[in-house]
Amino acid sequence: MDNQYLVFILDNQGYALHLSTVDSVARMVNIIPLPGAPSVVLGVVNMRGRVIPVVNVRQLFKLPKREALLTDQLIFAHTERRPVALMADAVTGVIEGLEHRLISTDIILPGIKYLNGVIKLKDGLVFIHNLGEFLSLDEEKALNLALGTT
């Protein structure tokens, strides 16, 4: 799993997470607003009795805002600090063994902490993301307060 990535789509663009951070993928469920959460958090969902924050990757990636659709997918994943869910238009599958095609972000997009690199595929570019960098420390603290955790 060291060089495997789960690819998902937002507005016809490919993005990916390291497969080792992904727990499961599910169809869209109702997202419940979470008062006091940072703006990058859409709300929370219940996954097998656990309250999981849903990160607004559209906002994070500066994509147009839109309402959730029943055809959307939720990617349940984890960082070192917490479980999270990401809303995606679609999940296309797993790619692997493409390290030789990985372009470092230091070369093309320096300074974006949550972006690990870009892989060029025959049907376009896929941006590889570092899930652990999606929330800033301040956003983590605000989310902990909103969830009532420390």
**pLDDT 10s digits, 33-68:** 999 999 899 999 999 899 999 999 998 888 999 988
Q: Could you tell me the two tokens for 102?
A: 């990985």
Question: Of 21-25, 78-82, 96-100, 128-132, where does mean pLDDT reach its minimum?
Answer: 96-100
pLDDT of 85 reads: 96
Q: Which of 74, 31, 70 is nearest to 51 (CA)?
A: 31
Ramachandran sector of residue 68 (left: φ over 0; alpha: ψ -120 to 50; beta: rest)? beta
Q: What is the mean pLDDT of residues 14-28?
A: 94
Q: Confidence band (pLDDT; 50, 70, 90) for 26?
A: very high
Quote the CA–CA distance of 115 and 130 in Å, as a whole number.
Answer: 6
Residue 26's Cβ-count burial label (10 Å; 0-12, 13-18, 19+) is middle
pTM of the model: 0.86
β strands within 11-150, DSSP E: 13-18, 22-27, 41-47, 50-55, 73-78, 83-88, 90-96, 102-104, 115-121, 124-129
Q: Confidence band (pLDDT; 50, 70, 90) for 135?
A: confident
pLDDT of 101 reads: 65
Quote the CA–CA distance of 135 and 74 in Å, as a whole number.
Answer: 18
Quote the CA–CA distance of 77 and 71 in Å, as a whole number.
Answer: 19
Q: Which of 41, 38, 65 is nearest to 52 (CA)?
A: 41
Structural domains in the chain, sorted by start: 4-147 (2.40.50.180)
Q: Confidence band (pLDDT; 50, 70, 90) for 21?
A: very high
Question: Of 18-22, 97-101, 113-117, 130-134, where does mean pLDDT reach its minimum?
Answer: 97-101
